[in-house]
Amino acid sequence: MIFLRRTALNTIKKYNMIEKGDVIITGISGGADSCALLHFLCSIKEHYNLSIYAVHINHGIRGEEADGDQRFVEEFCKSLNVPCKSVYYDIKKKAVEWGLGEEEAGRKARYDEFSKLAKEKKGKIAVAHNMNDQAETVIMRMCRGSGIKGIGGIAPVRENIIRPLIECPRNSIEKYCIKNNIDYRTDCTNEMDIYTRNKIRLNILPLMREVNENAIENIARTASIIYEEEEYLESLTEYNYEKCLISKNKGNVVIDINKIKEFHNVMIRRVLRRALRDIKKDIKDISYTHIESINDILMKGTGKKVNLPFGIVCETEYEKLKIYNENHTKSEGYSYILTPEQKIYIKEIGKYALLSLNQQKKNFGLFNVCTKVYDYDKINTDIYLRTRRAGDYITLKNGKKKVKDIFIDCKIPSKERDVFPVLSTDEKAISLVGLRDSVEFYITENTKKRVYFYIWEEKEL
């Protein structure tokens, strides 16, 4: 059996990449890697009962050469009886529009198109990254200052993206093409010392192979080990993140500083990166230096602040670390009428609320449920869940107190005050939910009608 075929089959089984009946969307440029991948997938099509589609992106950069690539790909796919979708992009124009470099814009265009067809066909995306690509990526990320996860390289499987050739060196791909009489195109820009990846492939890796002829294989093997260990550490990070997480909603995460400081520095960094992913999914441009700057303000007490890329802000307030996107923090307030027995979702705070004339006996589980009961006869108006208003106060046992003063006394961070839920009648605040209740609406021995208020996160009743 040819080395590439044996290695790719082992990789598919090792990472459970393909199941019988799968739909596979294959990216194809016309180069040796993608042509070999498509040919290989077609060779196992019958065994796995696969439906295979190909997508080619014409980047509009190399003129007639790029058009020739497109014609070649379409003919190659036709020879394999694979439906092919070709899409043209003016990458130079898109790079400006998207605020990216040409290399990154090209990548975005490709994956956007792959994802569109994968969504339409309910399929997986197969791309032709190989062992050499893995080594190049590891070196590039080390130069950029990535953490352990970045040095773990290209994931063999990520969401619906699979890489069957990730453990195949490039020379095995070229041999596969020769053995199977597969023609392919050569992109002239691959030999141009103008892109970061090209500099690594053309200049750095050859020098490393002079030091050790197996350098590429060794780098890729190290990445594979790191990737496997990272999978375990990721589950531990998730557990610890939940332990110190106070709250999260769109564009806003709050962490308990005392709890996160209990962790080892390694875990603190990991938890911080995990929190940042709740603010912005793609944080590859967040470096070790950025994470250390957050760690630094954890040790300096309240009022410290650091600004990160993408408009992300981290600041300490009392015993909390707030991480938020400054573009999502402005609130115009909210106000919801609560109708008994009708559950409602408060999107501004990411919680459900329910008013009921009967005590609920269903199990909320461990989802931060808050339950209160009030004298319904003392209310006699609609009941609202809203944000604070000027002049709001709560009647305590020792007299009235302004809501803003309660916030200060309870050390509620300023940015939380604008979305903090207030339960109220038409005119009076019944409760600063989970913080203070007005004694005016307490139940007594004379109470005839009770109203129950529930507010909780994530899980419905």
pLDDT digits (tens, 9 = 90+) for 128-158: 999 999 999 999 988 887 777 788 899 999 9
**Does residue 303 have a pLDDT over 80?**
no
What pLDDT does 461 receive? 41
Q: How many CA atoms lie within 13 A of 255 on its CB side?
A: 29
Measured between alpha carbons, how far apart are the two ends of the chain, in Å? 57
Q: Name the least confident of 18-32, 49-63, 104-118, 287-301.
A: 287-301
Highest mean pLDDT among 48-52, 291-295, 443-447: 48-52
Task: Quote the CA–CA distance of 321 and 260 in Å, as a whole number.
Answer: 10
Place of tokens 């796919």: 77
**Does residue 459 have a pLDDT over 60?**
no
Q: Note whether 41 and 73 are within 8 A (CB).
A: no
Q: Which of 38, 45, 117, 115 is nearest to 78 (CA)?
A: 38
Task: Quote the CA–CA distance of 25 and 55 in Å, as a whole number.
Answer: 7
Task: Quote the CA–CA distance of 381 and 13 in Å, as a whole number.
Answer: 64
Q: In Å, what is the CA distance from 430 to each residue of 189, 354, 379, 407?
A: 68, 15, 9, 15
Task: Quote the CA–CA distance of 282 and 310 in Å, as a whole number.
Answer: 10
What pLDDT does 329 receive? 55
Q: Note whether 294 and 261 are within 8 A (CB).
A: no
Average pLDDT over residues 263-282: 91
DSSP output for 344-411: EEETTTTEEEEEESS---S---SS--EEEEEEGGGT-S-EEEE---TT-EEEETTEEEEHHHHHHHTT
Tell me 339's DSSP state.
P
What confidence tier does 317 reach under pLDDT thresholds 50, 70, 90? confident
Q: Which of 287, 273, 271, 277 is nearest to 141 (CA)?
A: 287
What pLDDT does 43 receive? 96
Strands 436-437 and 429-432 turn out to be antiparallel
Joined tokens for residue 391: 């002049």
Strands 383-386 and 335-338 turn out to be antiparallel
Contacts of 18 (CB under 8 A, 6+ apart): 12, 24, 44, 48, 50, 124, 162, 164
Q: Name the least confident of 219-233, 239-253, 325-339.
A: 325-339
Q: Which residue has the higher pLDDT, 360 or 197?
A: 197
Average pLDDT over residues 196-224: 92
What confidence tier does 20 reach under pLDDT thresholds 50, 70, 90? very high
Contacts of 171 (CB under 8 A, 6+ apart): none
Amino acid, res. 13: K
What pLDDT does 237 receive? 95
Domains and their CATH numbers in the chain: 3-227 (3.40.50.620), 250-328 (3.30.465.60), 335-457 (no CATH)
64-120 pLDDT, tens per residue? Answer: 888 999 999 999 999 999 999 999 999 998 888 888 888 889 999 999 999 999 999
Q: How far is CA 66 from the centre of its chain?
A: 33
What average pLDDT is seen over the chain?
Answer: 89
Task: Quote the CA–CA distance of 154 and 332 in Å, as a whole number.
Answer: 42
Strands 161-162 and 124-126 turn out to be parallel
Q: Note whether 38 and 26 are within 8 A (CB).
A: yes
Task: Quote the CA–CA distance of 114 and 126 in Å, as a whole number.
Answer: 9
344-396 pLDDT, tens per residue? Answer: 888 888 888 999 888 765 555 445 567 899 999 899 888 999 999 888 999 99
What pLDDT does 460 receive? 42
Q: Note whether 291 and 323 are within 8 A (CB).
A: no
**Does residue 300 have a pLDDT over 80?**
no
Q: What is the 3-state secondary structure (H, E, C) of 224-269?
A: HHHHHHHHHHHHHHHHHHHHHEEEEECCEEEEEHHHHCCCCHHHHH
**Does residue 5 have a pLDDT over 80?**
yes
Q: Name the least confident of 66-80, 280-294, 382-396, 398-412.
A: 280-294
Q: Note whether 350 and 248 are within 8 A (CB).
A: yes
Q: Name the least confident of 144-148, 220-224, 267-271, 447-451.
A: 144-148
**Does residue 235 have a pLDDT over 80?**
yes
What pLDDT does 73 receive? 96
Share of the chain above pLDDT 90, in %: 57
Place of tokens 């792959």: 114
**Does residue 1 have a pLDDT over 90?**
no
